């Protein structure tokens, strides 16, 4: 009820802002559009700030809907969602102590030599603390905000209702499957014991890869609400942008190769493209992988469908791309022909990086702009109402996120060479 009241208060504030702005424009002799009144900078800030304060699923839904590269949300809504990639409000020390008392029992502090109550990171579902045990283990402790698990279903429903009320998404779009998946995914992410199992699974899969490093799970301190891992040092992955060209290229090639292995070998993917999930160790040159709450297993037929799309995209055959995209579910028989053509065109544009002979320069290309323009036009078309399958939705987010990172690092990568093991039958 309190969280619903917060959202109601946010909506009231937005409506109040609209009334004031509307009255001002009428006084100036202008006839404002409802959309323009709703999406003022002050209202965008009000929505994003309130969701960040609420944390939990309300903020996570915003993050899940944050689309940066050619995706199809209206730009104003994308702005709101993009703000939610910033840190959430963290727990005050007293609240943190209560949560840890409930999970570890009173007196838990006696097993630590140090425990920093100020988090080193704070996100939508939990915050991370640095600690050292009496036996000198250097740990990163992720602590879940209280009440997150209980609020997931109502938060998703309430945020979805607000988006509907805004009129930014046509009522013809059936987002029920995505909302159901968002709830399922969030319940999984809120189970830190399961995240620990995913972490261990990826550690085993990548144990022979000397370019990657993952934290080690500390099972005895892990509960459904607390995840204990070894602390792995590193800097934000974006700082690799300041490294020499060869190192930028190497790091990005490592991550693209990892994505290909997740898709075609493991059938198991960490689907959250947030840059904060990657760090870089300048001393060793290794890439640090963090946060496996959004890891997702998918059946082999999904990988096979993407393999077919890969071959079609590399061939450049529009007919083959159309067939492969239809099989994956990017459109169906009810999709208008011109909408299908737009989607096929977008896929063909995206594959130009993969067809390139030699290192592809992610910095000096307008592919992202082309996709953004086409995606915005498709998203703003009220007659386009198709929602892709959930697996495709999560994968496209991951693909787009890595493309953005490659662009940010100004990397040059021979993607076609990395694809060779997966296209040579």
Which pLDDT belongs to residue 147? Answer: 83
C-alpha span between 142 and 292 (Å, rounded):
12
The 10 Å CB-count burial string (b at 16+, else e) for 382-414 is eebbbebbbbbbbbbbbbbbbbbbbbbbbbbbb
Pairing of strands 278-281, 235-236: antiparallel
Q: How many CB atoms sit inside 10 A of residue 37's CB? A: 18
The 10 Å CB-count burial string (b at 16+, else e) for 65-79 is bbbbbbbbbbebbbb
> Cβ contacts of residue 94 below 8 Å, gap of 6+?
none
Give the catalytic positions in this structure. Answer: 272
C-alpha span between 179 and 61 (Å, rounded):
9
C-alpha span between 281 and 247 (Å, rounded):
12
Which pLDDT belongs to residue 130? Answer: 97
Which pLDDT belongs to residue 86? Answer: 47
Considering only CA atoms, give the Rg of the chain. 23
Q: What are phi and psi of 341, to 5 degrees?
A: -60, -40
Give the closest residue to 273 by CA, choosing from 64, 79, 62.
Answer: 64
CA 319 to chain centre: 31
Pairing of strands 286-289, 212-213: parallel
Which contacts qualify for 238-245: CB closer than 8 Å, 24 or more apart? 238/275, 238/408, 238/409, 239/280, 240/280, 240/409, 241/408, 241/409, 241/410, 245/410, 245/412
C-alpha span between 54 and 12 (Å, rounded):
16
Q: What is the DSSP letter of 357?
A: S
C-alpha span between 387 and 385 (Å, rounded):
7
Helix or strand holding residue 297 (H, E): strand 295-297
Which pLDDT belongs to residue 35? Answer: 45
Q: What is the largest CA-CA distance in the chain?
A: 73
Token reading at 345: 């065109």
Give the closest residue to 419 by CA, choosing from 204, 267, 263, 270.
Answer: 263
Whether 112 and 133 have beta carbons less than 8 Å apart is answered as yes
Q: What is the DSSP letter of 59?
A: H
- Name the pTM for this structure: 0.81
- Which ranges of 127-233 does DSSP label H, i.e. alpha helix? 148-166, 176-189, 192-205
Which pLDDT belongs to residue 15? Answer: 45
Average pLDDT for runs of 10 along the chain of length 425:
45 46 49 47 57 56 46 50 55 93 96 95 86 97 89 77 60 68 84 97 97 97 97 95 97 97 96 89 96 92 94 93 94 90 91 88 84 73 75 86 90 94 80
Whether 226 and 103 have beta carbons less than 8 Å apart is answered as yes
């Amino acid at each position: 009820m309190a969280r619903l009241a917060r959202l109601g208060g946010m909506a009231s504030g937005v409506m109040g802002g609209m009334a004031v702005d509307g009255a001002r424009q009428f006084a100036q002799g202008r006839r404002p559009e409802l959309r323009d009144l709703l999406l003022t900078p002050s209202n965008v800030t009000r929505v994003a700030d309130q969701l960040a304060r609420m944390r939990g699923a309300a903020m996570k839904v915003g993050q899940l809907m944050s689309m940066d590269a050619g995706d199809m949300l209206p730009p104003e809504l994308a702005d709101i969602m993009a703000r939610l990639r910033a840190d959430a409000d963290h727990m005050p020390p007293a609240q943190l102590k209560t949560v840890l008392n409930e999970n570890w029992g009173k007196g838990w502090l006696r097993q630590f030599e140090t425990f920093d109550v100020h988090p080193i990171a704070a996100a939508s579902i939990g915050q991370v603390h640095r600690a050292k045990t009496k036996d000198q283990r250097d740990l990163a402790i992720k602590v879940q905000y209280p009440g997150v698990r209980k609020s997931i279903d109502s938060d998703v429903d309430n945020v979805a209702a607000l988006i509907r009320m805004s009129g930014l998404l046509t009522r013809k779009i059936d987002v029920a499957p995505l909302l159901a998946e968002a709830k399922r995914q969030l319940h999984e992410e809120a189970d830190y014991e399961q995240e620990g199992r995913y972490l261990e699974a990826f550690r085993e899969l990548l144990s022979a890869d000397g370019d990657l490093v993952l934290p080690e799970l500390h099972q005895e301190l892990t509960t459904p609400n607390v995840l204990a891992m070894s602390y792995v040092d590193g800097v934000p992955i974006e700082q690799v942008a300041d490294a020499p060209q060869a190192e930028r290229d190497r790091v990005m090639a490592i991550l693209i190769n990892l994505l290909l292995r997740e898709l075609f070998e493991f059938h198991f993917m960490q689907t959250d493209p947030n840059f904060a999930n990657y760090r870089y160790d300048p001393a060793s040159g290794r890439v640090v992988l963090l946060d496996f709450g959004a890891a997702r297993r998918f059946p082999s037929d999904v990988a096979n469908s993407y393999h077919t799309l890969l071959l079609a995209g590399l061939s450049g055959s529009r007919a083959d791309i159309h067939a492969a995209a239809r099989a994956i579910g990017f459109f169906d028989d009810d999709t208008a022909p011109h909408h299908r053509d737009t989607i096929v065109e977008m896929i063909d544009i995206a594959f130009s990086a993969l067809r390139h002979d030699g290192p592809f320069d992610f910095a000096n290309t307008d592919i992202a702009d082309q996709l953004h323009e086409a995606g915005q036009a498709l998203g703003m078309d009220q007659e386009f109402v198709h929602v892709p399958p959930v697996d495709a939705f999560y994968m496209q987010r991951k693909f787009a996120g890595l493309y953005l990172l490659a662009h940010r690092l100004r990397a040059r990568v021979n993607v076609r060479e990395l694809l060779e093991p997966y296209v040579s039958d």
